[in-house]
Structure 1
Amino acid sequence: MNDAGVPLTPRASENAGQSGSDAGAQAGAAKPYRVLARKYRPAGFEDLIGQEAVVRTVSNAFETGRIPQAWILTGVRGVGKTTTARILARALNYELPEGSVKGPTIHMPTLGVHCQAIMESRHMDVLEMDAASHTGVDDVRQINDSVRYAPASARYKVYIIDEVHMLSTAAFNAFLKTLEEPPEHAKFVFATTEIRKVPVTVLSRCQRFDLRRVEADVLMAHLANISAKEGVEVEGEALGIIARAAEGSVRDSLSLLDQAIAHAAGPVRADAVRQMLGLADRTRVIDLFESLIRGDIASAFKEFREQYDTGADPVVVLSDLAEFVNFVTRVKIVPATADNVAFGETERKRAREFAGKISMRVLSRMWQMLLKGVAEVRDATRPAAAAEMVLVRIAYVADMPTPDEAIRMLEQNGGASPVAGGTAAPRTAPAAPVSSMQSSPARATSAPRSNAEPSARPQMIAPSPDAAPAARRI
């Protein structure tokens, strides 16, 4: 198709000059492969997933005729900023050959006169500029000079500027007058991942849309639909792993799905996706979590070493462990979180069990230790050894009371040391009596050491004065 959308047909002389074998060879030649992120790029507003607020606002604006002169789209990578900009350009210039559409519309059931050229970024009236490589005032001056001229064939001239935050200060200043009072036939669509770097003088002249991250369950449904169209069998658990790894980015999820299909060379299984991404088995991460909660360091060491020997990165193991701690915490606060299909059935079931037994104090303490431990392991020269030491710290404080809990337990027992309960691993050393507390203020407020491991436990940090009452421990 040409820029106006008219289908191009090969010239007769060219067809006559081709032999039958040449034509057959060209027909049989395989087309270049297009990655899934490009092949299934949305072409209309109804194809955008996870951006209902943007679609509704734009739809109402088009229906009421309240179309602004400039939009600015912001969000993380891969949520559809450039795609939305092209859809806006297509909606502004949508026309049918019979001339039944007289103005901008969001209802585009078929390809119009200009649609194909706009979607392929080759329409003469829809100009795309990458601000990362055109940052100077001269580039903006060219736009200011060309914006005065009417469009050649379309209804509007649309300027799409990607990564607009990369423009220089002088370039932004040169844009202000044109952006505030553009000709009626000109529209501007800006896209950026760094909205804070765009001057407020530019933001005040645009309608801003924040494209949100796509939820994992929505991504899973989208990936399942594409897998069915491609004729590829993908396990639901594998789709969940890909959706979580994409972190809300549609493009990242499609790229990972593309890679997983090539990696599996057949049905895509969860184990193959974990191996491709270098992730640990979620079931084994949960087993590691259970060993740490019990204070069973030997089992925790054995489980971690087995995962490490199969190729799991120590940083990834601790990160997955922290993610599961966060998931259990969310299930404890909002039980309906366990119904999220982005997580596996085993993961959801065991998260419910842990949430009913583990106190919020233990979960919060484990989260803080893992958060610090991940940074330590990432910077360590021997990551596996550093990760093991992090596991030791977590296991040894698993059954350790917080200072306020220890003081309350001493007061309830009349100064006698209570046995550290919970579900910790049984200690072999017999419990020894605790001497009466000293009368000095410093001694009166300190937490006693555990009798079973007097020298192995780290010193606890005193809680803040406004700390909530201690919850019942596991």
Structure 2
Amino acid sequence: MEHNLALYRRYRPESFAEVIGQDHVTEPLRAALAGNRVNHAYLFSGPRGCGKTTSARILARTLNCEKAPVADPCGECQSCRDLARGGPGSLDVIEIDAASHGGVDDARDLRERAFFAPVSSRYKVYIIDEAHMVSSQGFNALLKLVEEPPEHLKFIFATTEPEKVIPTIRSRTHHYPFRLIPPRVLSDYLGEICQREGVPIEPAALPLVVRAGAGSARDSLSVLDQLLGGAGAAGLTYDLAAGLLGYTPDTLLDEVVDAFAAGDGSTVFSVVDKVIETGQDPRRFTEDLLRRLRDLVIVAAVPDAPATGLIDVPQDQAERLVAQAARFGKADLVRSADCVAAGLTEMRGATTPRLLLELICARVLLPGADDSLDGLGARLDRLERRVGVEGVLSGAPAPAAPPPAPVVEVRAPASLETPEDAAPTATGFEAPASAAAPQPTQEAPTEPSVVEPVETPAAEAPSPPVSSSGGLGLVDARRVWPDVLEKVKEMRRFTWILLSQNAQVIGLDGGVLTVGFKNAGAKDSFIGGGSEEILRQAAIDVIGVDWKVEAIVDPSADPGAGTAPVVTKAATTPVEPAPVEPAPVTEAPAAEAPAVVSSPPAWVDTEETEDAADAVAEPPAPEPVPVQRAAPETIASARSNIAPTRSGEAPTKVADTRDDDVHPDDPDVDDSGVDGAELLARELGATVVEEIPHD
């Protein structure tokens, strides 16, 4: 017979030790009972189903126990057996429902019968449930009795609205406020009941039962009783609980939240359509979505919230929450939750719920249309997560990087070979095959050159994976490289010249941008001049990503071509670069210096050697260099070439090799406003030979 009782009746506590979630009430009451310091009237208040009436029965049972004063009833005496769960009850413990007996006549009848002594127990106890339903006249009729009752009389008032009990009654009672049961405590209690009933239950289904009970033990047990009655051989499953209780499945919530994070409007509105087509309540779906966003807000602020008990979810769902929160920014999550909460309050009246739900989703998807501080924070979050990287890039799909051509090294005979650490050219530009080797006046050796292929680190350039720094990969970094160089040019021209003519992006991994320089001189000048910080700040200003810049020497790095250049070592005699000041004139073979657009004039007396590249970083001290005596026709040709430059034409662009008078770290260096002679002297370190009389 007892098995057919409802769960909340079968598992009603019989002592204060069995009451869950109300330790702040039960412990003081047990201490008062054990010390025989009980009052004549008590007021138990709190939400429904949290144990007020049950505690009142336990208090009456303990007061009338034959072993009193005790903290808990013995359960063996006649009074304890009469008031036990399923017992016949006692004539000395009277329960009155104030909802139907709250008038002044009922109060007068109670007052007349209260003076009679108890039948068989120590005390006559009146338990008045729903005490707030007693009228003011009824309370006034009981006031004198409650204030000065006979010694055998005890009153216990139970109510969900203590403020409706008149102050004169409240002031004569001991007030004990009951609270809602914590979810974790209630979840453990429900799990124990399922074990007693012998019905298996999935861990994901328990939070749904607790949520449906809303902190009430009686309501939670009623929901569990319904679910256990419909459970099959597999026990109580999550699908059964979600279907019977009307909650949105986690799969739908996961789908819509992931779509919000990715800005995928198509998936979001398809989920809304699925909610409507399956007959679910749009308001319940909105409530479930708001609860999920609330969980994500907490997880974003406290990543270990599931482990510490801030969120009562199963382990697999906790991992999903952590992953979903990582796809949002904190401001974006708070704004999304605010949009859903505001829309939930509007879901009333005659307006179509589906329309309101779609409008809520549209607001969440469009933070750009929100000009409030929350909308601004959401947009900043998305920029930081590089979701809107297309706004910085060109928008076109990144072309596949062509494989670099193999680098061929041409070795000269051992007697004329330059040092191994020398750069291929002095100016940092590719030298044509015809201009790579100056024309020596002496007889060239007849030994053949040896051509060997040289492997380079950048021989293989597959499409790299996206790095963790801002969502950008190597292909994206190369696409924004011109914009970064433009910003560098505004900040410091020296750094811009070094990067635009001698460097290229060759790697991006873990927030480290690797820049390859064609020669060691350009790399040393870049590092020694503080240009790393200039490039880093330019990347922050242009695309909002803080890269750590790493410079290396990579002969295949060519800013002007998609393939690796050909590194050529010419069979020439090493010659130091010419200083700016005129040197003593001696007889020496002349050589032409390669230029970018056209060949330099005949009056330029410089030699392309490998050692000249090191002058970019550390210019050597000026030394006298043998200079060939210019012929009269050479001087005339030089003057004819200088004349257009001095008259206002743009000088020929040359590589960034500065003289000793211009420090490479000077940010104020400007290439404009100088004539050709000054530009050649400053950039190439060349010397302009003036006309010298033959006599």
| TM-score normalised by length of structure 2 | 0.52
Counterpart-to-counterpart distance in 1, 2:373 and 2:205? 44
Closer, same or farther: CA 426–381 of 1 in aligned 2, 3 Å: farther
Shift in Å at residue 403 of structure 1? 4.7
Counterpart-to-counterpart distance in 2, 1:423 and 1:276? 42
Q: Residue 315 of structure 1 aligns with which residue?
A: 283
Give CA-to-partner distance per residue, 1:324-375, whole Å, 9 cap, x none.
1111222333444322373122332232234455333222222221112123
Match status 1:396 vs 2:366: yes
Could you tell me which amino acid in structure 2 is paired with residue 358 of structure 1? F
Could you tell me which amino acid in structure 1 is paired with residue 177 of structure 2? D
Q: Residue 63 of structure 1 aligns with which residue?
A: 34
Q: Residue 130 of structure 1 aligns with which residue?
A: 97
Could you tell me which amino acid in structure 1 is paired with residue 247 of structure 2? L
Match status 1:74 vs 2:45: yes
Q: Which of 338, 343, 349 is the aligned partner of 1:368?
A: 338
Q: Which of 177, 181, 193 is the aligned partner of 2:144?
A: 177
Shift in Å at residue 121 of structure 1? 6.8
Could you tell me whether the CA contact under 8 Å between 1:157 and 1:186 is conserved in 2? yes
Could you tell me whether the CA contact under 8 Å between 1:419 and 1:431 is conserved in 2? no
Match status 1:215 vs 2:215: no
Could you tell me whether the CA contact under 8 Å between 1:72 and 1:207 is conserved in 2? yes
Q: Which of 63, 72, 87 is the aligned partner of 2:58?
A: 87
Q: Which of 278, 287, 292 is the aligned partner of 1:324?
A: 292
Counterpart-to-counterpart distance in 2, 1:321 and 1:354? 13
Instruction: Pick which of 140-149 and 38-47 moved more.
Output: 140-149
Q: Residue 290 of structure 1 aligns with which residue?
A: 258
Closer, same or farther: CA 124–390 of 1 in aligned 2, 3 Å: same
Q: SS of the counterpart of 1:49?
A: coil
Match status 1:115 vs 2:80: yes
Counterpart-to-counterpart distance in 2, 1:50 and 1:170? 36
Counterpart-to-counterpart distance in 2, 1:175 and 1:347? 55
Give CA-to-partner distance per residue, 1:45-83, whole Å, 9 cap, x none.
111000111111101111222111111111111111111
Could you tell me whether the CA contact under 8 Å between 1:237 and 1:344 is conserved in 2? yes
Match status 1:151 vs 2:118: yes
Higher percent of residues as helix = 1
Q: Residue 246 of structure 2 aligns with which residue?
A: 278
Q: Residue 5 of structure 2 aligns with which residue?
A: 34
Match status 1:104 vs 2:69: yes
Structure 1: gaps of 5 or more residues: 1-29, 96-100, 411-417, 433-471
Could you tell me which amino acid in structure 2 is paired with residue 38 of structure 1? R
Counterpart-to-counterpart distance in 1, 2:203 and 2:115? 53
Match status 1:382 vs 2:371: no
Q: Residue 351 of structure 1 aligns with which residue?
A: 321
Could you tell me which amino acid in structure 1 is paired with residue 315 of structure 2? E
Could you tell me whether the CA contact under 8 Å between 2:335 and 2:375 is conserved in 1? no
Q: SS of the counterpart of 1:252?
A: helix
Counterpart-to-counterpart distance in 2, 1:294 and 1:399? 17
Could you tell me whether the CA contact under 8 Å between 1:292 and 1:398 is conserved in 2? no
Instruction: Pick which of 335-344 and 180-189 moved more.
Output: 335-344
Q: Residue 258 of structure 1 aligns with which residue?
A: 225
Closer, same or farther: CA 427–302 of 1 in aligned 2, 3 Å: farther
Q: Residue 272 of structure 2 aligns with which residue?
A: 304
Closer, same or farther: CA 425–285 of 1 in aligned 2, 3 Å: farther
1:166-245 alignment runs, 5 A limit: 166-245=133-212
Q: SS of the counterpart of 2:154?
A: strand
Could you tell me whether the CA contact under 8 Å between 1:220 and 1:239 is conserved in 2? yes
Closer, same or farther: CA 400–357 of 1 in aligned 2, 3 Å: farther
Counterpart-to-counterpart distance in 2, 1:370 and 1:419? 19
Q: SS of the counterpart of 2:116?
A: coil
Give CA-to-partner distance per residue, 1:372-392, whole Å, 9 cap, x none.
212333434422232122111
Give CA-to-partner distance per residue, 1:127-157, whole Å, 9 cap, x none.
0000001110111112211221211100111
| TM-score normalised by length of structure 1 | 0.76
Shift in Å at residue 402 of structure 1? 4.6
Counterpart-to-counterpart distance in 2, 1:75 and 1:65? 25
Could you tell me which amino acid in structure 2 is paired with residue 395 of structure 1? L
Counterpart-to-counterpart distance in 2, 1:363 and 1:200? 46
Q: SS of the counterpart of 1:209?
A: strand
Counterpart-to-counterpart distance in 2, 1:43 and 1:322? 39
Could you tell me whether the CA contact under 8 Å between 2:252 and 2:271 is conserved in 1? yes
Instruction: Pick which of 78-87 and 343-352 moved more.
Output: 343-352
Instruction: Pick which of 175-184 and 78-87 moved more.
Output: 175-184
Q: SS of the counterpart of 1:191?
A: strand
Could you tell me whether the CA contact under 8 Å between 1:278 and 1:312 is conserved in 2? yes
Aligned length: 390
Q: SS of the counterpart of 2:290?
A: helix
Structure showing greater radius of gyration is 2
Could you tell me whether the CA contact under 8 Å between 2:129 and 2:159 is conserved in 1? yes
Could you tell me whether the CA contact under 8 Å between 2:124 and 2:152 is conserved in 1? yes
Of all paired residues, the percent bearing the same amino acid is: 35
Counterpart-to-counterpart distance in 1, 2:368 and 2:336? 8
Could you tell me which amino acid in structure 1 is paired with residue 7 of structure 2? L
Question: What root-mean-square deviation, in Å, do the aligned CA atoms of Structure 1 and Structure 2 show?
Answer: 2.9
Q: SS of the counterpart of 1:189?
A: strand
Q: SS of the counterpart of 1:159?
A: strand
Instruction: Pick which of 232-241 and 123-132 moved more.
Output: 232-241
Give CA-to-partner distance per residue, 1:264-286, whole Å, 9 cap, x none.
23311011000001111123213
Could you tell me whether the CA contact under 8 Å between 2:50 and 2:218 is conserved in 1? yes
Instruction: Pick which of 76-85 and 173-182 moved more.
Output: 173-182
Could you tell me which amino acid in structure 1 is paired with residue 157 of structure 2? F
Shift in Å at residue 401 of structure 1? 7.1
Could you tell me whether the CA contact under 8 Å between 1:280 and 1:317 is conserved in 2? yes
Could you tell me whether the CA contact under 8 Å between 2:299 and 2:322 is conserved in 1? yes
Closer, same or farther: CA 262–32 of 1 in aligned 2, 3 Å: closer
Could you tell me whether the CA contact under 8 Å between 1:296 and 1:425 is conserved in 2? no
Instruction: Pick which of 48-57 and 264-273 moved more.
Output: 264-273
Could you tell me which amino acid in structure 2 is paired with residue 106 of structure 1? A
Higher relative contact order (CA 8 A, sep 6+): 1
Structure 2: gaps of 5 or more residues: 396-543, 545-695
Shift in Å at residue 295 of structure 1? 2.1
Counterpart-to-counterpart distance in 2, 1:45 and 1:337? 32
Q: Residue 449 of structure 1 aligns with which residue?
A: none
Could you tell me which amino acid in structure 1 is paired with residue 60 of structure 2? A
Give CA-to-partner distance per residue, 1:93-114, whole Å, 9 cap, x none.
112xxxxx2x232233434211
Counterpart-to-counterpart distance in 1, 2:20 and 2:280? 33
Could you tell me which amino acid in structure 1 is paired with residue 320 of structure 2? R
Closer, same or farther: CA 406–46 of 1 in aligned 2, 3 Å: closer
Closer, same or farther: CA 299–419 of 1 in aligned 2, 3 Å: closer
Could you tell me whether the CA contact under 8 Å between 1:296 and 1:424 is conserved in 2? no
